[in-house]
Structure 1
Amino acid sequence: MSPGYLPFKDALDLPAYLCDNCGSWQRQFAPPPDCPLCLDARHVVPQTGWRFWTEAEARDNFPCHWAEVEPGIWRYWNDPVNGIGPSAYLVTTPAGNMMFEACSVFSEAALAHLSALGGVDVLSASHPHSYGALWQIQDRFDPELALPVGDFLWSAALRVSWPYDDRLEPLPGLELHVTGGHFEGHAVLFDRGRGILFCGDALKFELDSGDPRRARTISAHKAFVRGVPLTLAELRRYREVFAALPFGQTWTPFEQAANCGRAEVLALVDAMLATRPHAAPVPLDDLVPTPDQRPPSLA
């Protein structure tokens, strides 16, 4: 039975519909007339009209795949892709499993694979563009759902059980930090043991065509699709969060950059703080980190 108070307890049992343009889900009694996430200023509306998929249709049209990218970290994605096509990451730990972000739709085989790995104890995401099919994971595994209060407005298809403000450590060694910027509640996940920062859309990479784990460029933006840069205050908040985290890899919902860590990220942020911020890609080779930008172990 759905959580909640009578007469609203069945609200989360309504059918779910996937937006073909952005990959977000809505729970409605009928196919929705439009998509609020596409109408938001950070995205664009579809040029040929709205199209929404049911769960069964989405599974048929967007096969789900998975792979262990690093020991104990599994990536789930759809190919061919729907909408913007984010990846889901399952981070396994001795204390439990945490999923950060979600792909557009999970197949039954993918859900069975997650179950074989021990299921999902904690669920979270960086921001609404990466919510994907979080609702499928919540319906199947009933995990704690930790989301920042700043983005609660966008969670209507979900039941948030663990709202947080600026920081949360839902499992030992896994830290959620709110950066703001791209969205008011935009957050990152830091895996302290592995030194990986799951940065959401705080950063964006272009990858080497011959090496999918090697980034060639890095950028930061308020709205990637529209090329809107961050403000100086937003960049200062990014720097405050990133400087406290000794990460050696940086993963977005789309790229897993093994050659970019805190030093390179701070070099980008500091360069933009020193002048007018922009949203243009910067070659990693052009960034020369200073000793104070490197984590103590890397200085």
Structure 2
Amino acid sequence: MKKYICTTCGVQYTESACEPERCPICEEERQYVNPGGQSWTTHEELVESGNYKNIITKEEEGLYSITTTPKIGIGQTAYLVAGDGFNILWDCITFLDDETIAFIRSLGGIDAIALSHPHYYSRQADWSEVFDAPIYIHRDDSEWIMEPSEYIQPWEGEEKSLGNGLNLHRLGGHFKGGAVLHWRNGGDGKGVLLSGDIIQVVADTRWVSFMYSYPNLIPLPASKVEKMALKVQPLSFNRLYNAFHKVVKENAHHAVQRSAERYIKAVNGELFNT
């Protein structure tokens, strides 16, 4: 019996005697099946290969990024907010080795894990078992849990307080339960927003954007982006980190609002004439 991992999205499935026939996450239009065909691996194979390593970077006081190289699956970055006696892992990655475990434990371990959306569920169940930490996923996305765990605690509604100035906010958009993490005390007290790719930092990092499907370039309707911007508007934050190690370093709150305005004008045909 093995826990198989989809090589395209990096999500691990419940233990089984043979490889799953399909990956529902990748078959859905917000992801994709590898053109070469569905393929699987296991965490044991990844570790035994000796090819992978997690790069842990201190981004600012109390915030660490964790990225696997070479990339596994989608290649997202997880973030550890550490300090004040409460550590939270924001989003998750597939690879977890002894070196990573030791480093995180040196910071006090993990008290909670929270996810922005299903593409980053990866090996969340194993991470939670290692650190004995609950997993917070919005109930609207519970159908995408491919490896059930007693540690998963679905939350409902538009906001969930985790304490220590940390709050989850459901924005929807990319996924119905798509969430962001507001770290009120981060960024030297000016606030930090950890957005996964519910809000995506673009090439010009003074701006962000929004999408239903990123790999397949399916946009969100203007009405949804307007609602997302309204939900973020009351939050105080100066910096924003996305899931791919891109950062809006300052004036991030304004960047989100003006980016939403630009997006809405674009999809309504008011931004350009080509």
Q: Equivalent of 1:169, from 134, 158, 161?
A: 161
Give the secondary-structure state (helix, strand or coil) at the position aligned to 1:268: helix
TM-score of the two chains, using structure 2 as the length reference? 0.88
Cα pair distance change 1:183/1:139, threshold 3 Å: same
Partner of 1:196: 192
C-alpha distance in 2 between matches for 1:207 and 1:260: 16
Give, in whole Å, the separation in 2 of the partners of 1:142 and 1:247: 30
The Cα shift of 1:188 comes to 0.2
Q: Is residue 27 of structure 2 the alignment partner of residue 35 of structure 1?
A: no
Which runs of 5 or more structure 1 residues have no equivalent in the other structure? 1-13, 209-214, 281-299
Does structure 2 retain, via aligned residues, the 8 Å contact 1:98–1:120?
Answer: yes
- Paired with 1:277 and 1:147, the residues of 2 have a C-alpha distance of 33
In 1, Cα distance between equivalents of 2:245 and 2:154: 27
Describe the SS at the equivalent of 1:96: coil
Indicate if the aligned counterparts of 1:23 and 1:83 stay in contact, CA closer than 8 A: yes
Q: How big is each residue's C-alpha offset from its partner over 1:71-110, in whole Å with a ceiling of 9 and x where there is no partner?
A: 1111111100012111111101314111110122111110
**How far apart in 1 are the matches of 2:234 and 2:158?**
14
Superposed counterparts of 1:126-141, under 5 Å: 126-141=116-131
Q: For 1:115, what is the secondary structure of its paired residue?
A: helix
Q: Normalising to structure 1: TM-score of the pair?
A: 0.81
How does 1:82-121 map onto structure 2 within 5 Å?
82-121=72-111
Q: State the alpha-carbon separation in 2 of the partners of residues 135 and 277 from structure 1.
A: 42
Do structure 1's residue 55 and structure 2's residue 53 form an aligned pair? no
Aligned residues: 260
CA contact (8 A) 2:181 2:194 kept: yes
- Counterpart CA distance in 1 for 2:255 and 2:157 is 27
Counterpart-to-counterpart distance in 2, 1:161 and 1:203 = 24
Q: 8 Å contact 1:86–1:132 — kept in the other structure? A: no
- Percent identical pairs in the alignment equals 25
What are the within-5 Å matches in structure 2 for residues 155-166 of structure 1?
155-159=145-149, 160-166=152-158
Structure 2 CA distance for aligned equivalents of residues 139 and 190 of structure 1: 25
Does residue 153 (structure 1) correspond to residue 131 (structure 2)? The answer is: no
Higher strand proportion (structure 1 or 2): 1
Q: CA deviation at 1:217?
A: 4.9
Match of 1:262 in 2: 253
The amino acid that maps onto 1:261 is A
Check whether the contact 1:239–1:266 (CA below 8 A) recurs between aligned residues.
Answer: yes
37 and 166 in structure 1: CA distance in 2 versus 1, 3 angstrom threshold: same
SS in structure 2 of the partner of residue 197 of structure 1: strand
Measured on the aligned residues, the alpha-carbon RMSD in Å equals 2.0
| Cα offset, 1:251, TM superposition | 0.8
Which residue of 251, 258, 272 corresponds with 2:263?
272
- Paired amino acid for 1:25: Q
Unpaired segments ≥5 residues, structure 2: none
**For the Cα contact (< 8 Å) 1:42–1:223, is it kept in 2?**
yes
Q: Does the 8 Å CA contact 2:4/2:15 hold for their aligned counterparts? A: yes
